Amino acid sequence: MMKVIVTGTYEEMSLTAAEAVRERVLSSPRCVLGLATGSTPLGMYAKLIEMYQRGEVSFKDIRSVNLDEYYPISPSARCSYRYYMDTNFFNHIDIDKANTHFPDAENEDSEKASTEYEKLISSLGKIELQILGIGRNGHIGFNEPGSFLYPLTHMARLSESTVRANSRFFSSPADVPRFSLTMGMKTILSASGIILLASGKEKREAVRRTLSSVIDTSCPSTLLCLHDDVTLIVTRDALE
């Protein structure tokens, strides 16, 4: 059964998630963290930066792998997920950036980039804790709803609803990249522990389906019920 922690506010959700990450890093200072982008984890990253500044945690020996990246994109582009992670987290803590990893979104061969990312993740060892957000349509990473899903890292086309949702980060929907490189569901489910964050009433339907214990590729987050250690940290407004 998925563990569910209901919080009253976004602030409380962010603190609860940050505390869980801090605990993991304190008990395993060289661990591999799987990290996510989007609006939802921003508060968690801010709390972790505060904890680092207070001397409560260090990321010196932590390795990280991000869930996904737009494709193709330059890491220096302001809308890349590399740029997001640098500006919202990595630049403010003591992590060694050489230990922070993303799919290679500049590689013209998307299949090669995908295979290499899988190899890289395996070479680092197990992802000990994977942070996830959830799309309004139940997507996880860029594993979008459909009649089938891919197990491993692959190039994925963004659904129209994701393009619309992500257009808030761009000047217009036309500027949103249509493709990404994303970990597949098996890559994600191979993590030892998973924290799924959800906040806001627009996530209600996706959260409801995630908790329904019915596996359905039309809502990729439902596959998380196959994992034994998933904690959903959710604000009350994202529950029915």
Please list the helix, strand and coil fractions of the chain in percent, rounded to the nearest 5, in that order. 40, 20, 40
Half-sphere exposure of 44 (CA within 13 A, CB side): 27
The verdict on 88 binding ligand PGA (CB under 6 A) reads no
**Segment interacting with ligand PGA (CB under 6 A) among 11-19, 36-44, 57-65, 208-216:** 36-44
Using the rule CB under 6 A, is 217 a contact of ligand PGA?
Answer: no
- Active-site choice (137, 143, 154, 166): 137
Q: Is 77 helix (H, G, I), strand (E, B) or coil?
A: coil
Active-site annotation holds for 139: yes
Which residue's CB is nearer to ligand PGA, number 39 or number 115?
A: 39
Residue span binding ligand PGA (CB under 6 A) among the ranges 33-41, 54-62, 80-88, 151-159: 33-41
68 is catalytic: yes
| 40-79 footprint of ligand PGA as x/- string (CB under 6 A) | x---------------------------------------
- Out of 69, 144, 154, 166, the active site residue is 144
Interatomic CA distance for residues 51 and 102, integer angstroms: 25
Stretch that binds ligand PGA, among 47-55, 91-99, 128-136, 187-195 (CB under 6 A): 128-136
Residue among 188, 181, 199, 172 nearest 229 (CA): 188
C-alpha 115, offset from chain centre = 19
Closest contact distance (angstroms) between CB of 101 and ligand PGA is 19
133 near ligand PGA (CB under 6 A): yes
CA atoms of 67 and 100, how far apart (whole Å): 12
Q: Quick check: bond before 72 cis, omega within 30?
A: yes
* Residue nearest ligand PGA, CB atom distance: 38
Q: Which two tokens stand for residue 96?
A: 């060694």
Contact residues for 19 (Cβ-Cβ < 8 A; gap 6+): none
The rounded distance, in Å, linking the Cα atoms of 37 and 45 is: 10
Q: How many chain residues bind ligand PGA (CB under 6 A)?
A: 6
Q: From the CB of 37, what's the least distance to ligand PGA, in Å?
A: 8
Q: Identify whether 144 is a catalytic site residue.
A: yes
Phi/psi-derived region of residue 55, left when phi > 0, alpha when psi is between -120 and 50, beta in every other case: left
Give contact residues for ligand PGA (rule: CB under 6 A): 38-40, 133-135
Which residues are tagged catalytic? 68, 137, 139, 144
